[in-house]
Chain A
Amino acid sequence: MARITAGIASSHVPLLGVAADTGKDRDAYFGPIFEGYDWTRAWIAQSENKPDVVILVYNDHASAFDMKIIPTFAIGCGERYKPADEGWGPRRVPDVEGHPDLAWHIAQSLILDEFDMTIINEMDVDHGLTVPLTMMYGAPEAWPAKVIPLAVNVVTYPPPSGNRCWALGEAIARAVKSFDGEDLNVHIWGTGGMSHQLQGPRAGLINAEWDNMFLDGLVGASQKLRSIPHIEYLRETGSEGIEMVMWLIMRGALGRETKALHRHYHVPCSNTAIGHIVLEPVDDRVPPSATIEGNDAAAQAAI
């Protein structure tokens, strides 16, 4: 059986990877950012908190996917993934090892639950996925957890709604609970954000007040974040702030109520506001599947 024991959210600014890879992570500019992750690095190293598998929700930034194919939700079911060459050579970080048993189980469960996932067996993973690993684990020889990449389109409009992301998180929670393989401590991480705009004359927009409202909304039993429309993210947090819908997949998967173990917010990193929060489920119940297949005992037995 498998259990989701924690949710982590983090920005995934590529410059953080550069800073870590070139030994600048404790300098005057980056030090205050990385210090906000020290608590998490110590916490996640303790055996009771160490995940066997991380479901890592991120977006690809024109690396594995170009404009030829744009999956809204895609799940990596492969054995391993290499760091992508994003135009300046791949990051010298370990390959990312997948967990095909759990990934395929989740993929099948989600499809029966009427989330029509794209399945990926081979791809390279870019900074959206490797920077959060660096922030949580530093620079180990091998990543201490297996990773199930879950890629979300937040580049070409429309991205999925916040509500749909939250509901996908709930479906992931149902899928993980019904895994009948090895005992697994599973984390779900939501990445990207917080406020930033990388384009046009309005570039550089930061909205600390809104970002902190969003961080507040992840904690407790409130579901108000799921109904925030895209236009509000765009107006309030900049055109790339829309990445925060990915955090709602993480939040939805934690169930009815959460508590915050750690929280960090810093401006700026490059063009971006850095946000980071570690959440634990207080009440991890999620609604039952609304689908015919999902409620059908024979269908469940087949997955």
Chain B
Amino acid sequence: MTDPRDIHAYLGAFDDIPGTRVYTAARARQGYHLNQFAMSLMKAENRARWLADERAYLNEWPLTPEQRDAVLARDYNRLLDLGGNIYFLSKLFSTDGLSFVQAVSTMTGMSVEDYKAMMDAGGRSPEGMRSIKGKY
């Protein structure tokens, strides 16, 4: 029913999607502690400690300096590049009091208002956004 699949071709195709980081095993490995740090913010007592002193809290986690800086800067595109996954990172922006729309819009280079207006008008068109090589 399903054609045999070359795992390298399967994974390689993900890099052909514009503006998208697919959460592959490589990213999951790279971002393991980053995502587990974000996950820790599910607990109220951890959120309180985090809000009291972000740097001290981050030092309890074996993150790379790049990951630490990106967390402090709330640079979500960079966090994706460093192995973050949006469902885990949502614990971080929820603690900041941001909704999904507010946080997600920061990755698009648009203002929240412009992003919301785009969504209300039917969302981002897939035209030209499906494939870098194929340009369709």
Contact = CB atoms under 8 A, between A and B. Distances in A.
Interface of A: 14-15, 61-63, 66-68, 85-88, 155-158, 161, 163-164, 195, 197-208, 210, 226-227, 229-231, 234-236, 239-240, 267-268, 270-271, 273
Contacts of B104: 198-199, 203-204, 271
Nearest to B122: A267
Q: Is the interface of A mostly helix, strand, loop or mixed?
A: loop
Contact of B41 (A87, A210, A236, A239): A87
18 contacts: A62-B42, A66-B35, A66-B36, A158-B10, A195-B123, A199-B20, A201-B18, A202-B17, A203-B105, A204-B118, A204-B124, A205-B124, A230-B10, A235-B126, A239-B20, A239-B21, A240-B86, A267-B122
B20 A67 contact: no
B89 to A, nearest CB: 9
Contacts of B88: 62, 66-67
Contact of A270 (B21, B35, B101): B101
B85 to A, nearest CB: 6
A234 B15 CA distance: 11
10 tightest CB-CB pairs across the interface, nearest first?
A: A206-B123, A202-B19, A201-B19, A235-B130, A204-B124, A268-B119, A62-B87, A87-B94, A163-B2, A199-B86
A85 B39 CA distance: 12
Interface residues of B, number: 57
Nearest to B131: A235
A127 to B, nearest CB: 11
B125 to A, nearest CB: 8
Contacts of B19: 200-203
B21 A199 contact: yes
